[in-house]
Amino acid sequence: MRPTEPGSPVLAVEDLVVSFPTDDGVVDAVRGVSWELSPGRVLGVVGESGSGKSVTANAIMGLLPASATISGSARFQGEELLDQDDRELAALRGSRLAMIFQDPMTSLNPVYRVGWQISEAVRLHDDVSKADARGRAIELLDLVGIPDASERVDNYPHELSGGMRQRVVIAIAMANEPEVIIADEPTTALDVTVQAQVLDALATAREAAHAAMVLITHDLGVVAGSADDVVVMYAGRAVEVGSVDDVFYIPRHPYTLGLLGSLPRMDASEARRLTPIGGVPPSMIGLAERCQFAPRCPLATDICWTEEPELERTEGGTHRSACHHWRSLRGVEDPSEVFTPVDVHGADDGAGAR
């Protein structure tokens, strides 16, 4: 284990490549992703379905199926995770490295009381009595904002609402005060009204444990509200990396700009048309050597079709973008300057045919 000097990342992913064999060919789910998570910070990983966000998380936790081919490196406190076997990982998982899953309906075991499940997390890593573990469970339920924690501890998952269940999942992840939490779409399965409460509970719990967090989501709003740094993923690669402010206010990748433009905003002073990104994400089988966003990109030129851009530094210190044309986004204030706004009233092109 390498000594960790202060300020060094608590979790560092370097050139991670993951592929799966399927009947149709090899799926290149993650194609060389690198990022670092500093202690106490929140890193948001955004991207649409199939962009490799969750596969990255599962690769770090060692939860990918045996058929997956993994290369690159993922270091936790300087310790390589990818070459550890299940037994070695078991000591880290849940105690120093915790994961929160997307769907609280399925990530809790239906046959056990929630208190049992939190106690299990405690007792797997800590040799404490059942009574102490139960006390800790009540404490944790209280921390994540469950009212009447001492009664709720004896409930079964099906007796709780979705938001309550996700709080329980958070409590389980927090049970051993981990250094890193990987939250894989923690609010996606919840009602919008509950999302904010659960994010609050997550923030409270995270601060109580002084943990760093990787927050995987496809919701830019969630990232804007909770993260310090952002990685935008597209087709298995990081296309833009930077602080939240940099990425949201001066996006230097057309994909990020397009995502921002397709987000309805309540804070806009005047009515604004949404600017969707046309087309669909590429199939992840047999990707050609080119910018994978080129077919959907209004800025694409010849070079985009022959050469896949690497992440390169833009004007801001840590702000990086993988686009040949990031410079042409300078001074772009509004996504509609690059993408075509959608006509809200006659929403589709087929309108003329009617």
Partner 1 sequence: MNEPETRPSDVAAEELEDRRPSDPGVQPGPTEEGLAVATRSQRRMIVRRFLQHRLAVISLVILVLLIVGSLVGGRLWRYGYAEQLPEFNQSPSWGHPMGIDAIGRDLLAKVLRGAQRSVQVALLVALLSTTIGTIVGAVAGYYRGVLDAVLMRVTDLFLVVPQLAVFLLLARIVGGGWFQLSLIIAAFFWMPIARIVRAEFLSLRETEYVDAARALGAGDLRIILRHLIPNAIGSIIVNASIVVAVAILAETSLSYLGLGIAAPDTSLGLLVSEGQSAFETRPYLFYFPGLLIVLIALTVNFVGDGLRDAFDPKQSRARR
Q: Which is nearer to partner 1, 31 or 136 (CB)?
A: 136
Q: Which of 115, 101, 124 is nearest to 187 (CA)?
A: 101
Q: Which is nearer to partner 1, 77 or 155 (CB)?
A: 155
Footprint of partner 1 on 110-129 (CB under 8 A): 110-112, 120-121, 124-125
5 binds partner 1 (CB under 8 A): no
Q: Which is nearer to partner 1, 61 or 140 (CB)?
A: 61
Q: Which is nearer to partner 1, 158 or 210 (CB)?
A: 158
291 binds partner 1 (CB under 8 A): no
> Residue 282: phi, psi to the nearest 5?
-70, 155
Token pair recorded at residue 156: 């079964």
135 binds partner 1 (CB under 8 A): no
334 binds partner 1 (CB under 8 A): no
Cβ within 8 Å of residue 354, ≥6 positions away: none
Footprint of partner 1 on 71-100 (CB under 8 A): 86-87, 89-95, 98-99
Q: Which is nearer to partner 1, 156 or 248 (CB)?
A: 156
Footprint of partner 1 on 178-207 (CB under 8 A): none
Cβ within 8 Å of residue 25, ≥6 positions away: 285, 286
Angle at 326 between CA 323 and CA 329, to 5 degrees: 140
Number of residues in contact with partner 1 under rule CB under 8 A: 42
CA 325 to CA 338: how far, in whole Å? 12
Contacts by residues 142-145 (CB-CB < 8 Å, ≥ 24 positions apart): 143/171, 143/174, 143/204, 143/205, 143/208, 144/168, 144/170, 144/171, 144/174, 144/201, 144/202, 144/204, 144/205, 145/197, 145/200, 145/201, 145/204
54 binds partner 1 (CB under 8 A): no
Q: Which is nearer to partner 1, 61 or 222 (CB)?
A: 61
Residue 134 near residue 115, CB atoms below 8 Å: yes
Q: CB 58 → partner 1: shortest distance, Å?
A: 8
> For partner 1, which residue of 15, 80, 154, 307 counts as binding (CB under 8 A)?
154
Q: CB 139 → partner 1: shortest distance, Å?
A: 17
Q: Which of 249, 235, 245, 216 is nearest to 309 (CA)?
A: 235
Angle at 169 between CA 171 and CA 79, to 5 degrees: 80
Pairing of strands 42-46, 69-76: unpaired
CA 99 to CA 138: how far, in whole Å? 20
> For partner 1, which residue of 30, 108, 140, 209 counts as binding (CB under 8 A)?
108
248 binds partner 1 (CB under 8 A): no
Tokens 């709720």 locate to 152
Q: CB 52 → partner 1: shortest distance, Å?
A: 18
Pairing of strands 42-46, 212-217: parallel
> For partner 1, which residue of 79, 103, 200, 245 counts as binding (CB under 8 A)?
103
> For partner 1, which residue of 11, 153, 160, 323 counts as binding (CB under 8 A)?
160
307 binds partner 1 (CB under 8 A): no
Q: Which is nearer to partner 1, 101 or 255 (CB)?
A: 101
Residues that bind partner 1 (CB under 8 A): 61, 63, 86-87, 89-95, 98-99, 101-103, 106-112, 120-121, 124-125, 147-148, 150-151, 154-156, 158-162, 164, 169, 172
